Amino acid sequence: MSTARAILAGGLVSFNIWDTVALAYAGKGDPFDADKFEIKPNFEEKVSESRSHLDYGQARASVVLPKPTEITVELSAASVQALAMQFQGLVVNLTQGSGTWAAVDFTVTALDKWLPLPKRNVSDEGFKFTNAGNTVEYDVDDHYEVNWLRGEVRFKSAAVDGPAAAAVLKLTGAYGAVNGKKILGGRVTQVRCQMFFDGKNMVDGSPVEADVWECVLGSNNGFDFLGSDYSAITLSGKIVTPPGKTEGYEIRLPNATT
């Protein structure tokens, strides 16, 4: 690293998150785009002030005592792992196999209210409701409307010859498979992890690296799904010095000479 006249760094941030079930680090993941990676050392100053009439109020002694180092990261990447940290959540699989309904019972528990169907990702092809005797078919849009993705139906009270509340209908149709992840919010109150920064000084191109051996992060910033600008995921906390280490983090400047 040369002696550049200024620092303007760019880089990526990676995490190695502690698995609270396996009680071990899960392994370093792919790097995230980030808008902030800030390490802030802290201290407390202890001052002994003179009470002598000759130098009253002046310092007889002053000691700077170290305090836990703070770390803040703002992630711009919309990955499942990043969102889970934002919402203090547990990531689980979102799975549903495809299948069909063949005249299965469905109770209209209320009119003009969205009612859940047995499955999500419903196909409009071949979808129908009939009365209990399977002799009258109700019309979509006229008697009811469907949220196909969520798997919800709403029967209209104003519809002519529509089903009444508490009526038991027959449901026929099909639903597709669903694969993905879901975040159970509030299940993980803290994120214990290692963090790694790989970047360079944009002024002269010299590499800059940072390894945080252990830190504990939390999220106390809101996440606005309807914000007018890009939404950042902000995590902050303290750096911890783990067993076997004499410091909580290190900064590396490869090829530095001065």
Same domain, 80 and 191: yes
Looking at the fold, whether 86 and 102 belong to one and the same domain comes out as no
Residue 37 is assigned to a structural domain of this protein: yes
127 shares its domain with 163: yes
pLDDT at 2: 56
Give the number of other Cβ atoms within 10 Å of residue 60's Cβ: 11
Shared domain check, 141 and 15 = no
In a domain, 163, yes or no: yes
What is the DSSP code (8-state) at residue 111? S
* Structural domain for 218, as ranges: 11-44+64-91+184-252
At 33 the pLDDT is 93
Instruction: Pick the last residue of a domain from 176, 195, 220.
Output: 176
**Inside any domain, residue 159:** yes
Is residue 6 included in any domain, yes or no? Answer: no
d(CA 9, CA 201): 4
**Could you say which of 141, 159, 176 is where a domain stops?**
176
pLDDT of residue 1: 45
Q: Report the number of distinct structural domains present in the chain.
A: 2
Contacting residues for 111 by C-beta, under 8 A, at least 6 apart:
155, 156, 157, 164, 165
| 154 and 216, same domain (yes or no) | no
Clarify whether residues 153 and 188 are in a common domain.
Answer: no
Extract long-range pairs of 41-48: CB within 8 Å, 24+ residues apart: 41/66, 41/69, 42/66, 42/67, 42/68, 42/69, 42/70, 43/67
Domain boundary among 176, 202, 220: 176
**pLDDT tens per residue across all 258 residues of the chain:** 457 788 899 999 999 999 888 899 999 999 999 999 999 999 999 999 999 999 999 999 999 999 999 999 999 877 898 999 999 999 999 999 999 999 999 999 999 999 999 999 999 999 999 999 999 999 999 999 999 999 999 999 999 999 999 999 999 999 999 999 999 999 988 899 999 999 999 999 999 999 999 999 999 888 899 989 888 899 999 999 999 999 999 999 887 776
CATH no. for residue 86? 2.30.110
Are 217 and 103 part of one and the same domain? Answer: no
The answer to whether 14 touches 31, Cβ cutoff 8 Å, is yes
Residue 238 belongs to some domain of the structure:
yes
With respect to residue 57, please indicate whether it lies within any of the assigned structural domains.
Answer: no
Classified as helix, coil or strand, 85 is helix
Same domain, 149 and 168: yes
Q: In which residue are the tokens 């899960």 written?
A: 26
- Could you tell me if 19 and 135 lie in one domain? no
Determine, yes or no, domain membership for 50.
no
- pTM to 2 decimal places: 0.79
Same-domain status, 31 and 84: yes
